[in-house]
């Protein structure tokens, strides 16, 4: 599989999002997903302290035992674990990192990410604590998530010369949610930051499982009433149908289109896709191999724009 860079880290173009671990699937199923990911050439594993009620880190660490040096492990902090564990205060940054290291069973985190901005703490203070972790050898690179372009600029300006600075931002981006293209992606290119898209398949809409006039498959994420009403609008499904037809006319699947479209962005280093089974991992890993041309992208833009 192609590799790209996140700061000093070399990562697989397709990464594994581990948000299902401990929530949707148990430890044994999580281990099978991890094994399938490694077999498929995936080396980048992304989790967070809040995933699965902290179980995701535990399951991932155990599944990677004995293979730690062959992979890149990313985790996040800052969202609410409980009333005492949340935010980006310097003292909590250090505690959260130690907690994640213990749960993962490792002595360093390759990419440690602030999961969301904390307006109550100056970003310079948070960066100072993260720099301490880098200097202590507990963290290799630092990143952020859910940051605006302005917040990325502020974070870069607040980083002291020679100190650790964010090398990546993880925000939502897919063919159906392109807000990051407006300001954040251009800012990443300007600052030399890696962009890591989450929800690359738009909560499953871009997997090929959903179409107008048919019920959502039983047991899927969008089969629940609230999810269906939020995501399965006629307008969105019309766009999905048009993209599916365009991909099929070129002997590709909608999944391949969704993943390869993201991979065609220069600033994107790894497309983080979740999975609940080995088959899903294998499909995701293969899906980013389609090399889209500028003409392809223009046609795709027209489809999305005109719906």
274 dihedral zone (left: phi>0; alpha: psi -120 to 50; beta):
beta
Tens of pLDDT, residue by residue over 249-277, are 999 999 999 999 999 999 999 999 999 99
Give the homologous superfamily in CATH for domain 3-211+255-292: NADP-dependent oxidoreductase domain (3.20.20.100)
Helix and strand counts by DSSP (H, E) for the chain:
11, 10
Tens of pLDDT, residue by residue over 133-158, are 999 999 999 999 999 999 999 999 99
| 203 — pLDDT class (breaks 50, 70, 90) | confident
Q: Give the predicted TM-score (pTM) of the model.
A: 0.93
d(C-alpha 99, C-alpha 85), whole Å: 10
pLDDT for the residue 38: 98
Tens of pLDDT, residue by residue over 96-116, are 999 999 999 999 999 999 999
Domain borders along the chain are 3-211+255-292
Instruction: State what percent of residues in the chain have pLDDT above 70.
Output: 92
**Lowest-confidence pick of 143-147, 157-161, 206-210:** 206-210
The answer to whether 221 touches 303, Cβ cutoff 8 Å, is: no
pLDDT for the residue 30: 98
Any idea of the CA torsion for 109, 119, 95, 275, to the nearest 10 degrees? -40
Task: Quote the DSSP letter at residue 215.
Answer: P
Catalytic machinery residues: 51
């Amino acid at each position: 599989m192609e590799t790209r860079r996140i700061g000093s880290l070399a990562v697989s173009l397709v990464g594994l999002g581990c948000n299902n671990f401990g929530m949707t699937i148990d430890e044994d199923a999580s281990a099978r997903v991890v094994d399938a990911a490694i077999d498929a050439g995936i080396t980048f594993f992304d989790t967070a302290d809040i995933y699965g009620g902290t179980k995701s880190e535990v399951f991932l660490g155990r599944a990677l035992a004995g293979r730690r040096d062959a992979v890149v492990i990313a985790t996040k902090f800052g969202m609410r674990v409980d009333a005492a564990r949340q935010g980006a205060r310097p003292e909590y940054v250090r505690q959260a990192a130690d907690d994640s290291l213990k749960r993962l069973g490792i002595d360093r985190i390759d990419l440690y990410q602030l999961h969301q901005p904390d307006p109550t703490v100056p970003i310079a203070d948070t960066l100072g604590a993260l720099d301490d972790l880098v200097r202590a050898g507990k963290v290799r690179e630092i990143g952020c998530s859910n940051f605006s372009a302005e917040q990325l600029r502020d974070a870069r300006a607040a980083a002291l010369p020679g100190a650790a600075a964010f090398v990546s931002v993880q925000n939502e981006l897919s063919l159906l949610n392109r807000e990051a293209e407006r300001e954040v992606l251009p800012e990443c290119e300007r600052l030399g930051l890696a962009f890591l898209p989450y929800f690359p398949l738009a909560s499953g809409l871009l997997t090929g499982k959903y179409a107008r006039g048919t019920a959502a498959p039983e047991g899927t994420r969008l089969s629940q009433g609230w999810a269906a009403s939020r995501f399965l609008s006629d307008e969105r499904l019309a766009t999905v149908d048009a993209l599916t037809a365009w991909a099929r006319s070129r002997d590709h699947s909608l999944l391949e289109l969704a993943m390869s479209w993201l991979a065609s962005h220069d600033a994107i280093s790894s497309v983080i896709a979740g999975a609940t089974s080995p088959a899903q991992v294998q499909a995701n890993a293969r899906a980013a191999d389609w090399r889209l041309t500028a003409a392809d992208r223009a046609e795709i833009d027209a489809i999305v724009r005109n719906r």
